[in-house]
Amino acid sequence: MVDDNMTLTKTNTAKVKAVEPDFDDEDTTPPIKPGKEREPLRARIEDFSFFYADGFQAIKNVDMPILDRKVTAIIGPSGCGKSTLLRSLNRMHDLYPGNRYEGRVILEPEGENLIGPESDPVIVRLRVGMVFQKPNPFPKTIYENVAAGLRVRGIKKRSMIDEAVENALRRAAIWDEVKDKLNGSAYDLSGGQQQRLCIARGLAPNPEILLLDEPTSALDPIATAKVEDLVQELSESVTIVIVTHNMQQAARVSHRTAFMYMGEMMEFGETQTIFTNPKHPRTENYITGRYG
């Protein structure tokens, strides 16, 4: 019941935004479709739309490439659908009845459609990991938190789990801080450490893509800087898609940036181009701080 309400509230906020934009402009420039990418792709989002159970269309015909082992940032004002898009990539919307996807999310190189009827949301989530806005460690030990993704996959061999846990904690740059208290509660860590632990938890099973949903919005500046450094380091080994409210963050960590507005992807391109030479007037308005 609570879950249903949460979805509803979310939808409603989006609706309010859609009906009454909180700024005055009548720009009707159509979205600029992303150009052809020369670099290798990990996934392609094609003509993707998403509808909440009450029929509200939160995402409208989005096309977006996701580069292999690069950071792709999604920015845009509140309620623009950026988190909704991210959550679609690992089928989180399937947890609540009535939500509907249209279009394709093709995972490369196999060409499997992640949102197609033949693909199982549980399998999709095994391949595409997610880190949430608020740190959400499980009420277990630090070790068990990181091992959770492996246990879900039925891995029982202790030596294998030990190795994967250490490896993930090292990759998430938190090993030195927790190596002496692996059997302590994850709740005893600070907020920033908890979030890096959640990143380690997402990394442990070696996902093909790691989704980060505003991972620093609940963190202080120092913890934020640590997570940003981490994201950049990780992009050498894993494909990352990050949603952020913070434009500077997108500019700092990402290789590609997508700007979303009211469910549409207005512009997509190299991060530097988007921030220095945006082509869509709405992108320009947003990055120059005229709304957001």
Partner 1 sequence: MAVTTDGPMGAASKTNQEAFDAVSRAQKKDILFATGGLIVMAIAMTLLLTLIGDLVIRGAGRISADFMTSYPSRLPQRAGILSAWVGTLYVMVVTAFLAIPIGVAAGLYLEEYAKKGWLSNFIEINVSNLAGVPSIVYGLLALGLFVYGFNLGKTILVAGMTLALLILPIVIVSTREAVRSIPKIIKEGAYGLGADQWQVMWNYVIPAARPGILTGAIVGLSRAIGETAPIITIGALTFIAFLPPPPVTGDFPFLSFAWLNEGFTVLPIQMFNWTSRPQADFHTIAATTGVVLIALTFSLNGIAIWIRYRLRKGYRN
Give the binding site for partner 1 (CB under 8 A). Answer: 1-4, 6, 90, 92, 95, 97, 122-123, 125-127, 129-130, 132, 134, 136-139, 141, 148-149, 151-153, 184-185, 187, 198, 201-202, 205
Using the minimum distance from each CB to partner 1, give the nearer residue, 36 or 158: 158
In degrees and rounded to multiples of 5, residue 192 shows phi and psi of -65, -40
- Shortest distance, CB of residue 122 to partner 1, whole angstroms? 5
Nearer to partner 1, 81 or 205 (CB): 205
Residue 57 or 185 having the CB closest to partner 1 = 185
We find the least distance from the C-beta atom of residue 153 to partner 1, in angstroms, to be 7
Minimum distance of partner 1 from residue 197's CB (angstroms): 11
The residue (of 62 and 146) whose beta carbon lies closer to partner 1 is 146
Q: How far is the CB of 236 from partner 1 (least distance, A)?
A: 23
Task: Quote the CA–CA distance of 213 and 6 in Å, as a whole number.
Answer: 17
Which pairing describes strands 100-107 and 71-75: parallel, antiparallel, or unpaired? unpaired
Closest to partner 1 by CB, 92 vs 287, is 92
How far from chain centre, in Å, is Cα 96? Answer: 19
- For the record, the structure tokens of 255 come out as 């290789």
Q: What is the largest CA-CA distance in the chain?
A: 61
**Strand partners for 262:** none
Which residue, 16 or 152, is less far from partner 1 as judged by CB?
152
Continuous segment of H or E residues that includes residue 269: strand 264-270
CB of 3 to partner 1, least distance (A): 6
CA quadruple 49, 202, 5, 79: dihedral sign: negative
Q: Are strands 256-261 and 71-75 parallel, antiparallel or unpaired?
A: parallel
**Given the complex with partner 1, which of 203 and 230 has the nearer CB atom?**
203
- Is the Cβ of residue 61 or residue 136 nearer to partner 1 in the bound state? 136
Least Å distance, CB 130 to partner 1, is: 4
Burial of 173 (0-12, 13-18, 19+ CB in 10 A): middle
For the CB of residue 163, give the shortest distance to partner 1 in the complex, in Å: 18
Shortest distance in whole angstroms from residue 125 CB to partner 1: 4
Cα–Cα nearest to 160, from 125, 196, 197, 204:
204
- C-alpha closest to that of 265 among 49, 27, 12, 43: 49
Contact 246, 11 (CB under 8 A): no
Compute CA 289 distance to the chain's CA centroid, rounded to the nearest angstrom: 23
